[in-house]
A and B are shown apart, each in its own frame.
Chain A
């Protein structure tokens, strides 16, 4: 079954990666066309166009959204390439930054802000890139599903001795920390997180001091 799963993930990844390349081409065309319109406008002079200010503002919006689209396409492309190798050496900093961006919409629907706090140095782990991302999303979901009033969650990467650690923690302490922990522990996503971490040979525990999950992996030594 795992072999079939791997091939299915690789198939979906390959198709998605191809589409993200095309999306980048589409964004490049929009960007250049908007840029050309700005160029032409700048050639008309200050008084040659009655709605100049509104036009420039709208062009600015297009450019900003293109930048957003490029960022999302780049992240989606990296996610799509995740199944290329069932096992690979990944930098947890990049993985959490990517997850914070890709899961941002799901979090926003729950009224939750997501932040990534990478370590200043690369923290490498030899693991399954797909499963680590699944673990992070399961950890996030188990928490934001228990945050009725919304709030903020931070994915924080650190090095503890020879181990790499990702903390998924609440930015503000919950009003009732024990109830919150009970609710998170009972969530089906927490069970999934436990299973994935066990499969990856990682460790999982709840840290009451900041109300969140601690995921630990053996750091890769090259």
Chain B
């Protein structure tokens, strides 16, 4: 994972900064945006490999950020990480091109494994299919 670039977008400052610190310890290169507007503002000069994105934020919500990121930088893999996980939101996020939809709080091992798969472009389903062959 050395140097893998991850942008974390969440308005819960304590949460997202601590999460970034833990990922940094594990060799990721992270940066944080505390709202959707800021994430879109810094995107052109700081294109990450993977974006970890909350859904419910003041201002532009996560689904709209996802839509705009996929339009401007489709190579960025977006993982939704939210505490507001309705089935409708999950379906909408996946339809808009999110790689995965995870619930907060998240186990660090699961998050890292998902970031790695997102970077490799390997979904859980295709990984399982590969194993069963």
User: Which A residues have a C-beta under 8 Å from some C-beta of B?
Assistant: 21, 24-25, 27-29, 31-33, 35-36, 39, 43, 66, 70
Contacts and interface: CB of A to CB of B under 8 A. Distances in A.
B83 A25 contact: yes
Contacts of B12: 25, 28-29
Given A21-B84, A25-B15, A32 B25 contact: no
Given A28-B83, A35-B22, A39-B25, 10 more contacts: A24-B104, A25-B83, A29-B14, A29-B15, A29-B18, A31-B105, A32-B18, A33-B14, A36-B18, A36-B21
Contacts of A36: 18, 21-22
A39 B19 CA distance: 12
Contacts of B15: 25, 28-29, 32
Contacts of B21: 36
Interface in B87-133: 104-106, 108
B100 to A, nearest CB: 17
A33 B25 contact: no
Nearest to B81: A28
Interface residues of B, number: 15
Interface of B: 12, 14-15, 18-19, 21-22, 25, 56, 83-84, 104-106, 108
Contacts of B19: 32
Nearest to A70: B105
Please list the 4 inter-chain residue pairs (A to B) with the smallest Cβ-Cβ separation, ordered nearest first. Answer: A28-B105, A24-B83, A32-B18, A31-B105
A142 B14 CA distance: 45
Contacts of A70: 105
Contact of B108 (A27, A29, A35): A35
A21 B108 CA distance: 20
Contacts of B25: 39, 43
Nearest to B11: A25
Nearest to B54: A25
Nearest to A31: B105
Contacts of B105: 24, 27-28, 31-32, 66, 70
22 contacts: A21-B56, A21-B84, A24-B83, A24-B104, A25-B83, A28-B15, A28-B83, A28-B105, A28-B106, A29-B12, A29-B15, A29-B18, A32-B19, A32-B22, A32-B105, A33-B14, A33-B18, A35-B18, A35-B22, A39-B22, A39-B25, A43-B25
A35 B108 CA distance: 8
Nearest to A30: B105
B131 to A, nearest CB: 25
Contacts of B104: 24-25, 28
